[in-house]
Structure 1
């Protein structure tokens, strides 16, 4: 029998997940609406998170991320073993491609960037460690969807559709992209998340043949033509084997 999960802890992290660069502050009304809870329950969670330093009350009823979260973020960035192990590989492939490169891991809400190498271009694209990429709007997300079992994939797609992030028309296009990722061994993003950003992603398999991470190159969409995408995909596929060798087994 599976160990029961702590619902309050899950709910607390769902509140923390509401914060982003676009939404650096939240109120109890916003939390109550987003997570379908009463205002009193939202207020109690926010007060508790403030008490432990995860949140700080910027002004009456308005909360931002607190010092404890910032401290944990710095520790995670410095001590993440996977990031340290893959950094030399992605730095090398970044130099070869002259495009920014990142490694992603699957999370409950999408793909999380765990390591990046930024191209030394006058104008380059930077994605910060910890950034969450949407499954349906990123090359890395399409690779993860392509390699999920059918039940999990359909559950993820249904959840996206239920939250109106994915229309029926976009769903059909996405299914074609997923099929293409399986057939070709890589997936592309051509401005779906950000209009001017393109990306190519490939899978990183572990010794058992399971998808462990994803590896992508990204930059200005104008540089990601069909021929260039194929060349990048081939280079990333070679690098993915080096990433797989660099990381420990499960």
Structure 2
């Protein structure tokens, strides 16, 4: 599989990943230092990305993200039928519970936010569309991992380090596998400070008629607000929301494994 990958494309996206809210500009020196390549190669990558519109030069040797990326982002938004379907459902969940909610997909071993409803309350968690989160320490991620085939899950465990994000992160493979089996049996996943201490979340899957998971939705917020009682109410509301989403996407009743596609 690795032989089918293009290293230059991977490197180009690694350069784009260097841009953050705190870093709006990069230089060849920054790229060389962060990615471990020489300055000449870094400069060539930057000029190539400028040529295709992914970057713009704001001064000699200094680059910012270009408008080609804005255009591509707009196309993703316009074509995101799943996100469009889920957004009003998330808005309803957040109004009912009073806490933030989000929907995700699973991509490149990480959870990616595709829709999000803000709670408008203080001490909210900073998540936005496009945010990527580790799978092993999030409610969404544990749902996705619980759905992987055995070989896929084994590959994940062999390639993704289980770094300790908080005192509550599961970093033992056997313990994580036990947790995923528990998630699989109960049909939902919870996170109690595993990614960030003091933050709780609960997530449920959205399934096709054949029972394949296509997205997950959650409620999340500070632990002192997401009490056990609120988590129980959130779970009930999320399950109803998942059923609403499944009916909107596929019609009829709740999808069941073994039914037609």
Q: Decide whether the 8 Å contact of 1:177 with 1:187 is kept in 2.
A: no
> What are the equivalent positions in structure 2 for 1:1-250 lying under 5 Å apart?
6-21=6-21, 23-28=23-28, 31-32=31-32, 37-58=37-58, 61-121=61-121, 124-161=124-161, 165=163, 170-172=171-173, 173-247=175-249
Please report how far the alpha carbon of residue 191 of structure 1 lies from its aligned counterpart in structure 2 after TM superposition. Answer: 2.7
Q: Decide whether the 8 Å contact of 1:100 with 1:126 is kept in 2.
A: no
Q: What per-residue deviation string (whole Å, max 9, x for no partner) do you get for residues 79-118 of structure 1? A: 4221111222222222222221111011114111111122
SS in 2 for 1:130: coil
Q: Give unmatched runs, 5+ long, in structure 1.
A: none
Which structure has the larger Rg? 2
SS in 2 for 1:247: helix
Range 70-79 or range 239-248, more displaced: 70-79
Please report how far the alpha carbon of residue 206 of structure 1 lies from its aligned counterpart in structure 2 after TM superposition. Answer: 0.8
SS in 1 for 2:231: helix
Residues 16/223 of structure 1: CA separation in 2 closer, same or farther (3 Å cut) = same
Residues 154/26 of structure 1: CA separation in 2 closer, same or farther (3 Å cut) = farther
Quick one: distance in 2 between partners of 1:237 and 1:202?
Answer: 7
TM-score, L = length of structure 2: 0.79
Q: Decide whether the 8 Å contact of 2:137 with 2:170 is kept in 1.
A: no
Q: What per-residue deviation string (whole Å, max 9, x for no partner) do you get for residues 130-188 of structure 1? A: 11111123211111111111221222222222xx7369961344334323311222112
Quick one: distance in 1 between partners of 2:30 and 2:209?
Answer: 44
Quick one: distance in 2 between partners of 1:83 and 1:143?
Answer: 18
Quick one: distance in 1 between partners of 2:86 and 2:9?
Answer: 31
Q: Decide whether the 8 Å contact of 1:118 with 1:125 is kept in 2.
A: no
Please report how far the alpha carbon of residue 129 of structure 1 lies from its aligned counterpart in structure 2 after TM superposition. Answer: 1.0
Structure ranking higher in helix proportion: 1
- Report how many residues are paired: 245
Q: Decide whether the 8 Å contact of 1:199 with 1:216 is kept in 2.
A: yes
Please report how far the alpha carbon of residue 6 of structure 1 lies from its aligned counterpart in structure 2 after TM superposition. Answer: 5.0
| Structure 1 stretches of 4+ moved >6 Å | none
Q: Give unmatched runs, 5+ long, in structure 2.
A: 252-260
RMSD (Å) for aligned C-alpha atoms: 3.0
Quick one: distance in 2 between partners of 1:86 and 1:147?
Answer: 21
